[in-house]
Amino acid sequence: MLTRHHVPVADLEAIATGRITAPTRTRIAAAERSRRMLMLRAVAAAQAERGAELGEGPLPPLAHAFDLLARAEAQDPQAVARVLGHPPVGVWAVRLLGRLRKGAEPAPGEPPLWREAGYAHALAAAAALRAGLIARVHVPARAGTVILPTVGHAVLDDARGDHDVATVETDGRGTTRVTLGPHVLELPAAPDLPAPGWHPARLLSWTPREPGPGVLLDDSDPYRDFRSTWPPPAPLTDTESDTWQRHLHDAAHLLGARHPDAAAAVPLVLNSLVPLPGMPRFRASSASYAEAFGSALVSLPCDAVDFAVTLVHESRHSVLNALSHQIQLVDRAAGGPRADTLLYAPWRTDPRPAWGLLHGTYAFTGVAGFWRTERHALTGPRAALAHFEFAVWRDAVAIALRTLDDRPGLTPWGRAFVDGMARQTAPWAGDDVPAEALAVARTELADLRATWCSHNLAPDPAATRLLADHRLGGGPVEEVTAPLSRLRTDPPPRLPELRCELRRLHIADAGTFTPDTRSRLSGVERSPDLLEADMCLLRGGPANAARAVDRYRAVLAAAPGTRPAWVGLGLALEESGEGAPATALLHRPELVRALALDERARGTQATDPLELARWTARIPGLIQRPATGVPQH
């Protein structure tokens, strides 16, 4: 039975500051369960409209699966709650509803509709097994693999994939058989134990000794990764699973020792981790999805600190997703034409709507709070890096909160939520940060902002052409005005700026670059000349800054479209004391680049990037209030 849900004001205030208690989590989970049940009801209704088409497949109607789920719930409600609360169920329901409603042919890589719908039968089989029911269920198979969500997966038929449908039989007394064509596999009496052909779901513990909620290390469910249509199972080895368990114990211990609010919240919120391949240290990958409450995709962490801060970050995304299902925090229709404006988020390379900015602000408030404490527990280069991270994300959150405060579209509850974050973070502005770490953090923020502008903004083309005409004609710069820049409709997709990764490597290596620095980078494409210019810049000091200026000029003379080089040149000029051209490049990089490309297209004499930046810096009104959505100066 579906029930009404409410969010006490105290819960809203506590969530805003990252304090998640067990009662709060229980209320959130209950609402998410009701939402999941409504989704299943919608699936049943949509399937009824297209029953004939689904009937063309080899599986029974979805009503059979739903009937079995109802019988299992009558016998063991907790067993069914565990299965239907499995985060991939939400991913599956959204995807299937979309396909049932649009009625289109499968997109490339999508499974047949009957197979997608057949996940309901796999859920029902898993629920029957957990509830101890007698049942015989036909379920989809793929490449010889049969998935029983939350329980495990069986591998039969030598993985040839000759058979599409398997049969799962449970006798209600602990015996379960999976049949696929001529092959039969009997599961262990305790299905959490491995056996030949049977791979139980991997459940990790947060702490080595204390009982408590576990976390599923999901390496097999076909809907575990919301970004992919149908990822095949990629089972971990026992050694790999042990590595994840060790990292989780270490991260949980770290949180418990120094971050009590996070230590309480993270295990309550996250119950499933989807392992992604390892990434370079400062290019970790993680993601959450609104309809997969409790789950986070996480790349293999480098150490406990790396893992802990990622868990803090993703648990905040997950709880805010759940909160937004009950309370509308952003009302795009209520704020007028500016409510839907795309905005600058310092942690993103693309413009974000107000809702996305709010989400990121909440997650990075947790990240900044983590580093605020962590920096005092570490020593040496690790402490320097933690001070830097705190300074960067403290100021980035402050920028985002000011942006949100200036925007229409927040509901009263959304404004209360933002105000709660603002009250929590306001005292952080007065925290002391070592001068060197603070200076590098401010350079990082300038780099992030200028890089964002260079990729996402475009000056008016006609006005830029007139400006280039004036410059090439030798007209006085005082007679022109700077064209406005507006958000591009087609910003190029890109990874985070490599220089940010390089900056962190430099700090972690105690202010040097080791001989293997290049090999430790994430592999993002970078020309050797540009990388050398970046390394000169990051070494710091007037002499290195001068070398960086020369190298960036050389890169740009050959390839004036190179966005990172324009921003790098601005940073190097600022380090060298040339404030005016540095300001032009760091505040209007898109304009300087557009002028250079215009002049190159005319086939005129090669433009000196430094001379162009100096000329642009003299334009009256160059640094003006930007168009809507552009980060403020």
- What is the secondary structure of 100-157 as a DSSP string? HHH-PPPPTTPPPHHHHHTHHHHHHHHHHHHHT-EEEEEEE-BTTEEEETTTEEEE-G
Least confident of 163-167, 525-529, 623-627: 623-627
Asked whether residue 251 is domain-assigned, the answer is yes
Q: Are residues 448 and 408 in the same domain?
A: no
Q: How far apart are CA 322 and CA 221, in angstroms?
A: 22
Question: How confident is the model over 289-323, as pLDDT tens digits?
Answer: 999 999 999 999 999 999 999 999 999 999 999 99
Which of 427, 462, 479 corresponds to the end of one domain? 427
Q: Are residues 523 and 585 in the same domain?
A: yes
Which of 367, 400, 427 corresponds to the end of one domain? 427
- Whether the predicted pLDDT of 178 surpasses 50: yes
Question: Angle at the Cα of 532 (from 528 to 534), degrees rounded to 5?
Answer: 120
Residue 169 in contact with residue 157, Cβ under 8 Å? no
Which of 380, 395, 427 corresponds to the end of one domain? 427
Neighbouring CB atoms inside 10 A of 15's CB total 24
Q: How far apart are CA 372 and CA 386, in angstroms?
A: 8
Q: Are residues 508 and 607 in the same domain?
A: yes
Q: In one letter, which amino acid is 216?
A: L
Q: Burial, 238: exposed, middle or buried (Cβ in 10 Å; 0-12, 13-18, 19+)?
A: exposed
Residue 519's pLDDT band (cuts 50, 70, 90): confident
Neighbouring CB atoms inside 10 A of 488's CB total 13
Looking at the DSSP assignment, which residues form a beta bridge with residue 134?
171
- Whether the predicted pLDDT of 336 surpasses 50: no
Q: Are residues 422 and 275 in the same domain?
A: yes
DSSP state of 349: S
Q: How far apart are CA 243 and CA 251, in angstroms?
A: 12
Q: Choose among 58, 48, 65, 83: nearest CA to 120.
A: 65
Q: How far apart are CA 600 and CA 581, in angstroms?
A: 20
Asked whether residue 456 is domain-assigned, the answer is yes
Asked whether residue 256 is domain-assigned, the answer is yes
Q: Are residues 392 and 506 in the same domain?
A: no
Asked whether residue 586 is domain-assigned, the answer is yes
Q: Can you tell me which residue has the tokens 């970050």?
A: 313
Range of the domain at 383: 238-427
315 Cβ contact partners less than 8 Å away, ≥ 6 residues apart: 20, 262, 265, 266, 269, 270, 296, 366
Q: Are residues 343 and 470 in the same domain?
A: no
Q: Are residues 291 and 326 in the same domain?
A: yes
Asked whether residue 317 is domain-assigned, the answer is yes
Asked whether residue 223 is domain-assigned, the answer is no
Asked whether residue 105 is domain-assigned, the answer is no
Least confident of 101-105, 245-249, 336-340, 497-501: 336-340
Q: Report how many domains make up the chain.
A: 2
Q: How far apart are CA 586 and CA 569, in angstroms?
A: 9
Q: Are residues 449 and 420 in the same domain?
A: no
Q: Are residues 388 and 467 in the same domain?
A: no
Residue 203's pLDDT band (cuts 50, 70, 90): very high
Least confident of 178-192, 226-240, 554-568: 226-240
Share of the chain above pLDDT 70, in %: 93
Question: How confident is the model over 600-613, as pLDDT tens digits?
Answer: 998 867 789 999 99
Residue 369 in contact with residue 19, Cβ under 8 Å? no
The pLDDT, as a whole number, for residue 323 is 95
Q: What is the mean pLDDT of the chain?
A: 91
Q: In one letter, which amino acid is 222?
A: P
Q: Are residues 460 and 416 in the same domain?
A: no
25 Cβ contact partners less than 8 Å away, ≥ 6 residues apart: 268, 269
The structure tokens listed for 472 are 């090439």
Q: In one letter, which amino acid is 271?
A: N
Q: Choose among 295, 318, 445, 303: nearest CA to 20.
A: 318
- Whether the predicted pLDDT of 212 surpasses 70: no
Q: Are residues 415 and 522 in the same domain?
A: no
Asked whether residue 268 is domain-assigned, the answer is yes
Q: Are residues 421 and 543 in the same domain?
A: no
